[in-house]
Amino acid sequence: MDIRGATRSLLVLTGRVINDVVSFIVFCFLDLLDVLLCFVYKILDFFMEAEWKPCYCSSGKEAITSSGKILVSERGESKIISLSSTKLQLEDISDTLYSRPSLVSEISKSTIKELKRLKIDGTTIRSSERIKNGTLRSTFTINSTIVDMLQEKIGGQQLHPVPRWSDCDCRACTSWSSSCKETLYVRVEGPSREDKAREDVLFIHGFISSSVFWTETLFPNFSDDTKSSYRLIAIDLLGFGRSPKPTDSLYTLREHVEMIERSVLEAYKVKSFHIVAHSLGCILALAIAVKYPGAVKSLTLLAPPYFPVPKGEQANRYVLRKVAPRRVWPLIVFGSSIVCWYEHISRTACLIVCKNHHFWESLTKLVTRNRMRTFMFDGFFCHTHNAAWHTLHNIICGTAGKVDEYLDAVRDQLRCDVTVFHGRDDELLPVECSYAVQSRIPRADVKVIDRKDHLTIVIGRQKTFARELEEIWKKSSSG
């Protein structure tokens, strides 16, 4: 047994070393490739749209301010001021959008610093207040071409075409642009409020997904009693599925939550409701639950992306490293690392896959002879790079410092049941994330499902999960 144990440990160590070495080589190459693609897309954008498209690898502030926002940096934290015809709004963005260290950036850091020292920025306003002994009390920087931005807002100019040349322009992906209503796509099943539906249930999908994650799996498997008593409401988040995909949005937490409020809570006159959320959707579910503590009847979270941030760590970057550790194995982690770290490589993936999603769906049907259900193609491929990139960084990374507050508020202010499901084989978000949620909310019931991962926690066990949800709702109603 000792020999077997030592052999196994040696093999694990060897595998880890190989993974580290291969990962280093691969990601060094990807660092260089992303820089090359940066120049390629600038040229293509200019020829296709007659303008340069700012990006975060070359100028993070320019990329943000080009969307009609003013970037404000204060003590290492980033916020934007959104300008509208009626109000100014200050909201958080993640600095991982424009500060993701790579080998290339580390090597060139000293050169860039020297160039910045020589550069004169005439549009930067700096304000600082120093106390008598000379220490800095408060510092903020606003970096933008404010006059030009205000002219764009007042003139109502559209910064980029809808859709952009690299986005899909099929009817399903652009159906929102022909509607005068700026609301999310909402799929509702069950009795209407006029038919006296007993309760409402809000389903929030995760990253790079859509409402079909629920409607094609759970909805057909609910009992007749549930379908006659509950109004089941599944949404496509802003930027995904058939929902609006504005090119000038930064897809912040506020924008996502306000769209859910406008499209569901207000439009369907929802007063009290259950929430079921998966992955990234769990963060939005927590934000909504904290905003409406008296309205939430039960909170069910699947694979929540919660990583407690150690003291002294910068929250946004810590979570980025946990979600995307820049490793080639497991494959789902490799994919996550590419999506999180490389703006232009991920845009290329969207160009190849999302813009041509009908081709890939047809090819899959041809190869499998229609034996494979392709409903998930609508979920995974119907989004824009702009929506996916900003949602990933501003929701998962950008809220890293807020999730603790949300969980504490759920623990102290909400009386509803909290249930957490997690696949034991989830290689993207480890099961420790759910146990960490339980450590903040002791009453949370954590259910770890063996031999299930990030997606098969629902897909493949939809009948069982439908029964589990029905029990949760009945229990919360009877309580």
List pLDDT tens digits, range 112-164: 455 455 544 443 333 334 334 444 333 334 333 333 433 444 444 444 446 78
In a domain, 247, yes or no: yes
- Residue 478: Cβ within 10 Å count: 6
What are 1's two structure tokens? 């047994």
The confidence score (pLDDT) of residue 10 equals 87
For residues 316 and 96, the answer to whether their CB atoms sit within 8 Å is: yes
User: What type of residue sits at position 282?
Assistant: C
The confidence score (pLDDT) of residue 465 equals 97
- Residue 370: Cβ within 10 Å count: 10
Place of tokens 């204060």: 74
On the question of pLDDT at 295 being above 80, the answer is yes
The confidence score (pLDDT) of residue 364 equals 80
In a domain, 85, yes or no: no
- Number of domains observed in the structure of the chain: 1
User: Which range of residues forms the domain containing residue 440?
Assistant: 186-477
Rounded to an integer, the average pLDDT of 432-455 is 97
Residue 115 three-state SS: helix
* Spatial CA neighbour of 344 closest among 100, 111, 162, 21: 100
Query: pLDDT tens digit string along 189-200?
Result: 988 765 666 799
The confidence score (pLDDT) of residue 254 equals 93
In a domain, 200, yes or no: yes
Residues in the chain: 479
For residues 368 and 340, the answer to whether their CB atoms sit within 8 Å is: no
In a domain, 194, yes or no: yes
* Spatial CA neighbour of 203 closest among 181, 233, 225, 237: 233
Work out the widest C-alpha separation in the chain, in whole angstroms: 77
The confidence score (pLDDT) of residue 58 equals 59
**CATH number for the domain that contains residue 238:** 3.40.50.1820
The confidence score (pLDDT) of residue 360 equals 85
* Spatial CA neighbour of 79 closest among 97, 54, 56: 97
- Could you tell me whether strands 230-235 and 186-189 are parallel, antiparallel, or unpaired per DSSP bridges? antiparallel
Which stretches of 50-83 are DSSP H helices?
60-65
Q: How many CA atoms lie within 13 Å of 32's alpha carbon, on the beta-carbon side?
A: 6
In a domain, 224, yes or no: yes
- Residue 88: Cβ within 10 Å count: 9
Euclidean distance between CA atoms 447 and 233, whole angstroms: 24
Query: pLDDT tens digit string along 183-231?
Result: 999 999 988 765 666 799 999 999 999 999 999 999 999 999 999 999 9
Query: pLDDT tens digit string along 370-416?
Result: 665 667 776 778 889 999 999 999 999 999 989 999 999 999 999 99
The confidence score (pLDDT) of residue 351 equals 92
Walk across the sheet containing 136-143 and list its strands. 88-92, 77-83, 69-74, 136-143, 124-130
On the question of pLDDT at 260 being above 70, the answer is yes
* Spatial CA neighbour of 247 closest among 341, 160, 334, 188: 160
∠ Cα 81 283 272 (to 5°): 100
In a domain, 357, yes or no: yes
On the question of pLDDT at 419 being above 80, the answer is yes
For residues 457 and 420, the answer to whether their CB atoms sit within 8 Å is: no
Which stretches of 119-186 are DSSP H helices?
146-155, 171-174
In a domain, 64, yes or no: no
Lowest mean pLDDT among 125-139, 161-175, 312-326, 357-371: 125-139
For residues 244 and 182, the answer to whether their CB atoms sit within 8 Å is: yes
The confidence score (pLDDT) of residue 131 equals 33
What are 336's two structure tokens? 């996550």
DSSP E strand stretches across 279-428:
296-302, 417-423
On the question of pLDDT at 93 being above 90, the answer is no
Active site residues: 205, 279, 426, 454
In a domain, 61, yes or no: no
Residue 467 three-state SS: helix
* Spatial CA neighbour of 402 closest among 268, 309, 303: 309
